[in-house]
Amino acid sequence: MREWKPHPRAADSLKGSLGQAVLGEQVWACCDPAPLSFAPLRDPAPSPTRQSSRAVQGRVRRRSPPARLSHRCRPGRACTTLREQHLVPKEHRHCPAGAGMLELPFLPFCALLGGLGAVCVAFVSAWCQRWRGGFAWDGSAQMFNWHPVLMVTGMVVLYGAAALVYRLPFSWSGPKFPWKVLHGALALVAFGLAVLGLVAVFSFHNAQGTPNMYSLHSWLGLATVLLFSCQWLAGFVSFLLPWAPAWLRALYKPVHVFFGSTILTLAMVSCVSGINEKLFFSLKNGTTAYSQLPSEAVFANTLGLLILLFGVLVLWALARPDWKRPEPDSVEAHQPLLSAER
């Protein structure tokens, strides 16, 4: 027998809306306009999307028999997926939070995004290997080549993966702590790669006698990595160490989320300005000029556009309300919000 449980966000929202008197009756459905008039689904045909672990998450327990509500069912949104529409009176089939938003399962999107991230890493590595002379760690131009590879891999692809951890449907059940550790660990690896990327470019400049930190790209790139270090440290202290008071966590969380997206945006800007700058540097004396658009230029320009596509898709996934982890938010911001989740 499958375990059905009330949706935490739903119950809390209803608690706020209806008050204790209404809550005296157990709230089983996240946006159940007429609980007693529901017709149970009898032996529903299995479908791939409905069988996913994510779908199971949002389903709700009813005393008997269980009605299977959509996993997209959220407070303020009625259940309008095809399978549920007949359960809900027509006048309640509304969807204010995501009206018109295309129903898209996260996991296939995530697989597509993972593929795109791998393509970005492959492109930047192929560019440096085929056209820029490959890799070394000796202060030469081959050492510089680690800079774009490590920055794209760390600050864009791994950073994006870390940002999306809480969007994984199977992270929504059970304790949050292991997922926090995974989020922090992925971000830490991303940060480590970024630091190595900085070491690569500073070592190359110092070995060649080139000044550091003069271009807009360098100012912005360093600012992005510094912001990332502050973000990681503040996140670690606030959400992973047990000593931060709950009111501080609640206050800091939206700031952390905002800077999460901002740092990714700045990383995208840094990557594109860096690729543009590198092509102007490299494609001049002795090689086909950038303005003649040799194959290297087409390839690296395409890399820049792919990085932007990857970043924009991550930002889009982060912003989609129906992919966000349902948080138990019945408690007030200044009460021990996250203590039970440590």
Task: Give me the least distance between CB of 51 and a copy of itself, in Å please.
Answer: 26
Task: Give me the least distance between CB of 316 and a copy of itself, in Å please.
Answer: 6
Q: Name the residue nearer to a copy of itself (CB basis): 21 or 45.
A: 21
Amino acid letter for position 194: A
Q: Name the residue nearer to a copy of itself (CB basis): 22 or 122.
A: 22
Q: Name the residue nearer to a copy of itself (CB basis): 129 or 265.
A: 265
Cβ contact 266:226 at 8 Å? no
Q: Name the residue nearer to a copy of itself (CB basis): 140 or 276.
A: 276
Cα distance between residue 273 and residue 148, in whole Å: 11
Task: Give me the least distance between CB of 61 and a copy of itself, in Å please.
Answer: 18
Q: Name the residue nearer to a copy of itself (CB basis): 61 or 324.
A: 324
Cα distance between residue 16 and residue 19, in whole Å: 6
Task: Give me the least distance between CB of 180 and a copy of itself, in Å please.
Answer: 17
Q: Name the residue nearer to a copy of itself (CB basis): 140 or 301.
A: 301
Per-residue 3-state assignment (H helix, E strand, C coil) for the chain: CCCCCCCHHHHHHHHHHHHHHHHCCCCCCCCCCCHHHCCCCCCCCCCCCCCCHHHHHHCCCCCCCCCCCCCCCCCCCCCCCHHHHCCCCHHHCCCHHHCCCCCCCHHHHHHHHHHHHHHHHHHHHHHHHHCCCCCCCCCCHHHHCHHHHHHHHHHHHHHHHHHCHHHCHHHCCCCCHHHHHHHHHHHHHHHHHHHHHHHHHHHHHHHHCCCCCCCHHHHHHHHHHHHHHHHHHHHHHHHHCCCCCHHHHHHHHHHHHHHHHHHHHHHHHHHHHHHHHHHHHHCCCCCCCHHHCCHHHHHHHHHHHHHHHHHHHHHHHHHCHHHCCCCCCCCCCCCCCCHHHC
Q: Name the residue nearer to a copy of itself (CB basis): 43 or 91.
A: 91
Task: Give me the least distance between CB of 50 and a copy of itself, in Å please.
Answer: 21
Q: Name the residue nearer to a copy of itself (CB basis): 67 or 279.
A: 279
Task: Give me the least distance between CB of 280 and a copy of itself, in Å please.
Answer: 6
Task: Give me the least distance between CB of 17 and a copy of itself, in Å please.
Answer: 5
Cβ contact 136:143 at 8 Å? yes
Cα-only R_g, the chain: 25
Structure token pair of residue 180? 């926090």
Structure token pair of residue 172? 């929504």
Task: Give me the least distance between CB of 75 and a copy of itself, in Å please.
Answer: 5
Cα distance between residue 150 and residue 157, in whole Å: 10
Q: Name the residue nearer to a copy of itself (CB basis): 104 or 185.
A: 104
